[in-house]
Structure 1
Amino acid sequence: MQSYRLERFGSLEGLRLIDEPQPVFGRNQVLIKVHACSLNYRDLAILHGTGTLSPKAGLIPLSDGVGEVIATGEAVSLFNIGDRVAGSFFPYWFSGKRDDAAARGTYGTQADGWLTQYKVVDEETLVAIPDYLSWEQAATLPCAAVTAWNSLQQSRPIQPGECILTQGTGGVALFAVQFAKLMGARVIALTSSDEKAQLLTTLGADHIINYQQNPEWSVKVRELTQGKGVARVVEIGGPGTLKQSLLSTAAGGEIALLGFVASGSQAVDFMTLFKSGATVRPFSVGSREDFIAMNAALTLSQLQPVVGKVFAFEQAVEAWRYFDSRQQTGKVVISIS
């Protein structure tokens, strides 16, 4: 079989396609023929050595992958041959709060990921994927979709009529718009172009703010909420957007702190944080239980994930390069035929 391994960090020259033996499965494991993977900002952070991750060199990258069970160990009881499955982002976070034990074995940093033709995993680390989704659509779920779902479900679920704020048109942001509309919420979405604004409107966003034209976009958010601010901010930008998010949040509201894709050095002063009355809560994807709950909502609603561009397995380096250019809208997927 063939796999990609990230042998060194810093540039895509370290990502190499190699031939290697097909993995052998144990009593409680399944062998999966991988059909699709998707890229996340996390994968760029691993490649370039940014953020808080400390990955091992030489691993197969990518946390998000889906495929078909083609063989099972003698003790496997959760899945059968032919089942369509996805890997959980945190393989051993089954439910409840995440602790050190639940955070172990993450794909692409501590263990081999999904950019390969065949993969062996423990059966309890898998989730069945909704039947209506294509392989490419299902590959968008493990990180971006579960993250967006939890940003609106925890620490308390968003209620109908409440207003949320999303940032951009990446995978997490678009899922957040779609899930918020399923929950009956109003959505204010930030974007940088008319083309992206049209997509957000199509997905159900109630108001669009062009942050290029309105760098102090919290003023517009306050206008659109009659001065109250939003109940939840799906905060993806991090350093470049947090201050404006604090100024946009209603007293008692929450900022779901998910990422750091927007560069910036503007410090958040104490009085801005104090006067906002907001809770800033970091989130890190979710558990297997969260994934299953989200899939139930997907099946009921038939929600369509936004796949921006699909690359062939042989074009994986080009897929990373395209993703690194930040041109994409929605998810970038690698299809493995």
Structure 2
Amino acid sequence: MKAWQLTGFGLDHLVLNDIPKPEPGPDEVLVRVSAVSLNYRDKLLCDGKYNPHLELPITQVADAVGEVVALGTGVTRFRPGDRVVTNYCTRWIDGQPTSKETLYSLGNTLPGALAEFLALTEDALAAAPAYLTDEEAAALPCAALTAWYALVEKGQLHAGQTVLIQGTGGVSLFGLQIAAALGATVIVTSSSDEKLARVKALGATHTINYSRTPNWENEALALTGKQGVDHILEVVGGKNLAQSIEALKPGGQISIIGILDGFDSTIALFSLIKKQAVLRGISVGPRRALEDMLRKFDELKLRPFIDSVYAFNDARAAYDRLEKGAFGKIVIRVRD
């Protein structure tokens, strides 16, 4: 079968190879992959920053949708013909994290889904919503679950609260979508007026251009009558985290998701203490939360924002688009 494999670090080492078609082992299913979507994590893996000890070559990409075509012994959750999506943390089924969940993720320690077929334990899969296209279903597993787990599962978001979303990447747009659908007031920050106009049309209540307003936390406070926001999806990291704390309502929550501005941060501990703020690191979520989210998406008929769709043979162009920045999810169609 054909598979896009990373043979060394750097996009030049992402190559289309012929490799043996996998066979499902005990408790595994064989999935014929229909489509995959890219995440910022895929760029970090390709660049050697996510796992510098990656064992190469390895098939790339974690988020996928496909059709079950064969079963290993002992499989009870799926039948041939079922349409399924992958769960990013393949061994995190439910319960509290143990810090080892992300060690068992596709395209990292396990062969990924940017291939014609994928063999995976049935516990790492969830039923895909019937109302979504393959491209839309492939866009959900990592980014949507991260936003859902941060805001709904851990944050207990409810109508009437205020959510501040940073940027317009995959997690951020899902955060906007989820928060608006659940009745929250949403503030979005970006350096692009064009993107801010688009998120306003998609349900954002307020927008802040942080290139013109570098002290964006003051604007966020002004927009909330100096009360501050209830939830922040922190995707920037670095010095931006200190600004997020200043923008927060007392007792508010910051979900730390991204590291765009660096892996380290210096914050004012007194501000954190005075506000009794909650800072929580978020690394996707368990399969049970994914299934909860998919049911809610089905109920609300939410559809992800797709930036662009590429053919399987054009996977490198999709990675180029990821490098340049996208508005919504980048999808690669594996089969027609």
User: TM-score if structure 1 supplies the norm length?
Assistant: 0.95
Q: 2:329 maps to which residue?
A: 331
| CA–CA distance in structure 2, aligned partners of residues 240 and 320 of structure 1 | 28
**Distance change in 2, residues 1:190/1:158 (3 Å):** same
- The sequence identity of aligned pairs, in percent, is 36
1:199-210 alignment to 2 at 5 Å? 199-210=198-209
Residue 74 of structure 2 corresponds to: 75
Partners of 1:122 and 1:274 lie apart in 2 by 44
- Which stretch of structure 1 is more off in the superposition, 268-277 or 85-94? 268-277
4+ residue segments displaced more than 6 Å: none
Partner of 1:38: 37
Q: How does 1:103-122 map to 2 (within 5 A)?
A: 103-122=102-121
Q: Report the CA distance between 1:171 and its aligned residue.
A: 0.6
Judged with a 3 Å threshold, the aligned counterparts in structure 2 of structure 1 residues 82 and 280 are, in CA distance, closer, same or farther, namely same
Query: How big is each residue's C-alpha offset from its partner over 1:38-86, in whole Å with a ceiling of 9 and x where there is no partner?
Result: 1111111112233576433211111111111111124221111111101
Alpha-carbon shift at residue 134 of structure 1 (Å)? 0.7
Amino acid at match of 1:199: R
Residue in structure 1 matched with residue 211 of structure 2 by the alignment: 212
Aligned residue in 1 for 2:151: 152
Q: Distance in 2 between matches of 1:256 and 1:57?
A: 32
**Residues 267-301 of structure 1, C-alpha deviations (whole Å, 9 max, x = no match):** 32333433443111101000000000000111001
CA RMSD of aligned residues (A): 1.7
- Checking the alignment, whether the CA contact within 8 Å between 1:45 and 1:53 is kept in structure 2 is no
Structure 1 residue runs of 5 or longer lacking an equivalent are: none
2:7 alignment counterpart: 7
Secondary structure in 2 matching 1:107: coil
Greater Cα offset, 49-58 or 84-93: 49-58
Change (3 A) 1:329 1:223: same
Alignment-mate amino acid for residue 65 of structure 1:
A
Letter in 1 for 2:298: T
In structure 2, the partner of 1:28 is: 27
> Does the 8 Å contact 2:237/2:264 carry over to 1?
no
Secondary structure of the equivalent of 1:281?
strand
Instruction: Give the direction of change, closer, same or farther, for the CA distance of 1:249–1:52 in structure 2 (3 Å limit).
Output: farther
How many residue pairs end up in the alignment? 335
Q: Counterpart of 2:59 in 1: which secondary structure? A: coil
Relative to 1, partners in 2 of residues 1:55 and 1:285: Cα closer, same or farther, differing over 3 Å? same
2: CA distance, partners of 1:27 / 1:242: 45
Q: Which moved more, 1:264-273 or 1:200-209?
A: 264-273
CA contact (8 A) 2:60 2:106 kept: yes
Closer, same or farther: CA 101–265 of 1 in aligned 2, 3 Å: closer
Q: Is the 8 A contact 2:237 2:265 kept in 1?
A: no
1:132 and 1:120, CA in 2 relative to 1: closer, same or farther beyond 3 A?
Answer: same
Structure-1 separation of matches of 2:219 and 2:297:
32
SS of equivalent residue, structure 2 residue 283:
coil
Structure 2 CA distance for aligned equivalents of residues 101 and 147 of structure 1: 17
1:253 aligns with 252
2: distance between equivalents of 1:29 and 1:181? 38
Write out aligned runs for 1:48-197 (5 A).
48-50=47-49, 54-100=53-99, 102-197=101-196
- Corresponding residue SS for 1:239: coil
CA distance in 1, matches of 2:15, 2:2: 10
Q: For the residues of structure 1 that align with 2:95 and 2:294, how far apart are their CA atoms?
A: 18
SS in 1 for 2:226: coil
Q: Which moved more, 1:14-23 or 1:50-59?
A: 50-59
What one-letter code is carried by the residue in structure 1 that aligns with 2:117?
Y
Are the equivalent residues in 2 in contact too, given 1:306–1:330 (CA < 8 A)?
yes
Q: Distance in 2 between matches of 1:168 and 1:156?
A: 19
SS of the aligned residue for 1:142 comes to coil
User: Residue 311 of structure 1: CA displacement?
Assistant: 0.8
CA distance in 2, matches of 1:29, 1:52: 26
Question: Would the aligned equivalents of 1:36 and 1:334 in 2 still touch at CA under 8 Å?
Answer: yes
Residue 160 of structure 1, CA deviation: 1.1
